[in-house]
Amino acid sequence: MSSEAKEIICIICPVGCRMTAVRDKNSPSGFLVSENQCKKGEAYGIEELTNPTRVLTTTVKINPGIYNRLPVRINGSIPKNKIFPCMKVINKVEVKAPIKIGSVIIENILNTGCDLIASRSMKAS
């Protein structure tokens, strides 16, 4: 296993700490993260080395809404390599207006354990 330090930019908050993360047998977590300004950065650094995840936001077709597209999001983080497969699934759906914010559009999308939900309410046109 590589013990090389990896430079990671923390994306958890806009401070955007430039951290270094490295595997370290002597630390309780098995990793050593430095230059992070808070605890969340440490968790993110470890995750980036082991199982990088992201929040996906996009839009779906809505009919007959006041706009053509409804903004949607996945209500959690999904593995990075699931992003494009999820986009494929999402681009096939179409929803009906009116819709309420938080409505589930696709349940447990691609078995990620997360749902695709509406990011806003939208009236019918």
Residue 119 touches which of ligand SF4, another protein, none (Cβ within 5-8 Å per kind) = another protein
SS3 39: helix
User: Which residues share a beta bridge with 62?
Assistant: 95
CA angle 32, 43, 5 (to 5 degrees): 35
Residue 50 touches which of ligand SF4, another protein, none (Cβ within 5-8 Å per kind) = none
Q: How many Cα atoms within 13 Å fall on the side-chain side of residue 60?
A: 29
113: Cβ–Cβ under 8 A, 6 or more apart, which residues? Answer: 76
Q: How far is the CB of 43 from ligand SF4 (least distance, A)?
A: 9
Report the Cα 77 to chain-centroid distance in Å.
4
Q: How far is the CB of 54 from another protein (least distance, A)?
A: 7
Q: What whole-number distance in Å separates Cα of residue 116 and Cα of residue 58?
A: 10
Residue 6 touches which of another protein, ligand SF4, none (Cβ within 5-8 Å per kind) = none
Residues 8-47 that bind ligand SF4 (CB under 6 A): 10, 12-13, 15-17, 36-38, 40-41
Residues of this chain that interact with another protein (CB under 8 A) are: 9-11, 13-14, 16-18, 35, 37, 54-55, 57-59, 61, 66-69, 71, 73, 80, 83-84, 87, 101, 119-121
- Site residues, ligand SF4 (CB under 6 A): 10, 12-13, 15-17, 36-38, 40-41
